[in-house]
Amino acid sequence: MSNITLHTLAARKAAGEKFAVLTAYDATFAHQVSSAGIEMILVGDSLGMVLQGRDSTLPVSLEEMVYHTEAVARGNQGAMIMADLPFMSYATPEQAMQSGAELMRAGAHILKLEGGRWLCEATSMLAERGVPVCAHMGLTPQTINKLGGYRVQGRTRESALEMIEDARRLEEAGASMLLLECVPTVLAQEITANAGIPVIGIGAGPHTDAQVLVMHDILGITPGRTPRFVKNFLAEGGSIQGAFALYAEQVKNGSFPASEHGFE
């Protein structure tokens, strides 16, 4: 696979072609993921839960994110690398500049920040300085204490309209991508149709431009309850490499996610 860039993914959206995103946290798995036809690796702060055994993403530090981004960059075979800015590392635009610079130096190609329109100033400042931003909306795990649990977002008309407006403002501010987590399928479809930038979904139905999942989830090895939007690709793929390739294939041909993986 030739190197994937923002231009590559924007062209996929324009052509109506879907692309796949999957987490990885080290060099070995980054090599396997990027060799399986998956266009983007997410170095997620989900590592706090799947690697460190914590009950949320909040304890993950910027130093830990830098460490894992460096490891992923060493194993990557041409995929685009998106890295999370962790909890309270971008509370102000100035802090976002400093934290973002560390992750970009570590090998990230785009940064993911959780939030709505309050991110517009930081997004503009980063974009103006050549740093691409993916704005993560809907269920934002870093605000889990305020949300009161892992709940579907945007189900009321008021909250749906607010999310639509947030998406519009963030794109206008310079965001290069949006990510929608655990939002109703119809809402995700509307945001995707109106956005001029690629929209990635997780628990957001089949109409987004791309899908993202946590690697441990698609391998069926995450302890505890399996989220509705997850599918065990290892069971059908037969091997880790087969699971990654099958995930990429089913995202691109539109067979994943199916209706049972979304929310009304």
179 falls within a domain? yes
Confirm whether residue 159 is marked as ligand binding: no
SS3 call for 161 = helix
pTM exceeds 0.95 for this model:
yes
* Type of residue at 88: M
1 within a domain of the structure (yes/no): no
**HSE of 74, CA atoms in CB hemisphere, 13 A:** 10
On whether residue 62 sits in a domain, the answer given is: yes
Q: How far apart are CA 248 and CA 157, in angstroms?
A: 33
Q: Which domain holds residue 23?
A: 6-261
d(CA 21, CA 134): 13
Residue 18 lies in a domain: yes
The pLDDT assigned to 224 comes to 87
CA atoms within 13 A on the CB side of 164: 16
Which pLDDT score, from 0 to 100, does residue 1 have? Answer: 61
Q: Determine if residue 209 is labeled as part of a ligand binding site.
A: no
For residue 19, what are the β-bridge partners? Answer: 210
User: Tokens for 180?
Assistant: 């929608």
For position 35, what pLDDT does the model report?
A: 97
Q: 84 a known binding residue?
A: yes
Catalytic residues, by residue number, are 181
46 domain-assigned: yes
Per residue of the chain (264 residues), give pLDDT as tens. Answer: 679 999 999 999 999 999 999 999 999 999 999 999 999 999 999 999 999 999 999 999 999 999 999 999 999 999 999 999 999 999 999 999 999 999 999 999 999 999 999 999 999 999 999 999 999 999 999 999 998 888 999 999 999 999 999 999 999 999 999 999 999 999 999 999 999 999 999 999 999 999 999 999 999 999 988 899 999 999 999 999 999 999 999 999 999 999 999 999
Ligand-binding annotation for 46, yes or no, is yes
Domain tally, the chain: 1
Q: Determine, yes or no, domain membership for 226.
A: yes
Question: Is 106 a member of any domain?
Answer: yes
Q: Is residue 42 part of a domain?
A: yes
- Is residue 166 a known part of a binding site? no
User: What CATH number is associated with residue 101?
Assistant: 3.20.20.60
Beta strands in the chain (DSSP E): 19-23, 40-43, 80-84, 110-114, 133-138, 177-181, 199-202, 210-213
| Exposure on the CB side of residue 9, measured as CA atoms within 13 A | 30
